[in-house]
Amino acid sequence: MKSRLDVIFDEIQPTVSFADVGCDHGYIAKRMIESGKCSNVTVSDVSAPSLQKAEKLLYKYVKAGVVKSICCDGLTLVDKNVQTVLIAGMGGEEIIKILKNSPFLPPILLLQPMKNTDKVRKALFDLGYGIIKDYIFYDKNKYYNLLVAHFGVKVEPYNEREFAFGRDNLNGMSEQFKNYLRHEISVTEGYAKRVACEKSLQEITQKLTLLREILNENS
């Protein structure tokens, strides 16, 4: 089974310039250079100690001028001509804030939010992106969503289910997505047994019905 970083790396296409925003360790940047996918790479992070980890890992590439390292919030100080931007491992609301506050919108985005993926999907549409790929994957007991979005590309608008679960998941019904639904059903059943408030129980029951519907419609 591929690791989270393997899945993300494999999804990034060769590109003229690449920025990993919130890079922390800098592993993806290193692989971008060493694989030959990109020779103009930026690593950025809002936290200086995090960025220092990437600078250490990428020392020889920074020295050679192949990697630029920038300590900043989101995309604020990143070169506005950068072609491909990765934002991975942050909450969806932080990702949305970064995109909304950015002085420019990159042509290609790869996003791997840790939560609130539905909100990220909506924000991408609002900002003028078309979502090209949108799927769930599994690594080390966790499910992750990966979105690839291209600026200015028109795609059929998402419906509410697609915003909640992702178009490729609903269309493709991969084993990983089915396992995710089974996992969510079991977690939600656990909540339903514990919850005391009537309103919360109603919401949980609705959620369970929807999860079961999607799973049963497709099995």
Ligand X SMILES: C[S@@+](CC[C@H](N)C(=O)[O-])C[C@H]1O[C@@H](n2cnc3c(N)ncnc32)[C@H](O)[C@@H]1O
Paired strand residues for 44? 21, 70
Q: How far is the CB of 89 from ligand X (least distance, A)?
A: 3
Q: By CB under 6 A, is residue 73 in contact with ligand X? A: yes
Sequence-ordered list of residues with C-beta below 8 angstroms from that of 127, at least 6 positions apart, any chain: 99, 100, 105, 151
Site pattern 3..22 for ligand X (x: CB under 6 A) = ------------------xx
The single residue among 7, 46, 201, 208 that binds ligand X, judged by CB under 6 A, is 46
DSSP H/E element including 148: strand 142-151
d(CA 16, CA 27): 19
Q: By CB under 6 A, is residue 130 in contact with ligand X? A: no
The single residue among 50, 102, 145, 169 that binds ligand X, judged by CB under 6 A, is 50
The single residue among 98, 110, 123, 211 that binds ligand X, judged by CB under 6 A, is 98
The single residue among 3, 47, 81, 171 that binds ligand X, judged by CB under 6 A, is 47
d(CA 22, CA 109): 14
Q: How many residues bind ligand X (CB under 6 A)?
A: 15
Please give the torsion angle defined by the CA atoms of residues 70, 72, 75 and 76, in that order, rounded to the nearest 10 degrees.
-110
Query: Where along the sequence are the contacts to ligand X (CB under 6 A)?
Result: 21-24, 45-47, 50, 73-74, 88-90, 94, 98
